[in-house]
Amino acid sequence: EVQLVEAGGGVAQPGGSLRLSCLGSGFTFSNYEMNWVRQAPGKGLEWISYINNIGTTIYYADSVRGRFIVSRDDAQNSLYLQMNNVRAEDTALYFCARGDSTGYYYADIWGQGTLVTVSS
């Protein structure tokens, strides 16, 4: 079964850090682009980061650029999101999502999400 499982969420203080991880299984992780998408409580989806299959192309939304860092370890079938200098507005459910392999720029497989709460 193709699956993505996120971990690492929790409570962080404003200005603090968290590292999220996403473990892929059931597919050849190294062949796929990966993404992070978040959803604030009661709000819609926001695409925040993308990394291509070899880690050479990375994009960030303006809302997180300079604070968040995406990376991947294909040997561990894992995607990471290092969240630094977090703010209250970063409170959200964070999903990792597999990018399509057709060049259409969509996400075909999603994890169940990990909740990040930023609060003092």
Partner 1 sequence: QPVLTQPPSVSGAPGQRVTISCVGSNSNIGAGYHVHWYQQLPGTAPKLLIYGNNNRASGVPARFSGSQSGSSASLAITGLQAEDEAHYYCQSYDNSLSATRLFGGGTKLTVL
Taking CB under 8 A as the rule, does residue 110 contact partner 1? yes
User: CA–CA separation, 77 vs 61, rounded Å?
Assistant: 24
Is residue 10 within 8 A of residue 91, CB to CB? The reply is: no
Residue (of 86, 88, 89) closest to 20 by Cα position? 86
Taking CB under 8 A as the rule, does residue 71 contact partner 1? no
CB of 6 to partner 1, least distance (A): 10
- Strands 58-60 vs 45-51: parallel, antiparallel or unpaired: antiparallel
CA R_g for the chain: 13
Pick 27 or 110: Cβ nearer partner 1:
110
Q: Which of 1, 56, 102, 120 binds partner 1 (CB under 8 A)?
A: 102
Tokens representing 83?
A: 């969240």
- Among 8-16, 24-32, 37-45, 78-86, which window interacts with partner 1 (CB under 8 A)? 37-45
- Give the total residue count for the chain: 120
Taking CB under 8 A as the rule, does residue 51 contact partner 1? no
Pick 12 or 93: Cβ nearer partner 1:
93
Q: What is the DSSP secondary structure assignment for residue 27, as one 8-state letter?
A: S
- Interacting residues with partner 1 (CB under 8 A): 35, 37, 44-50, 59-62, 65, 95, 97, 100, 102, 104-113
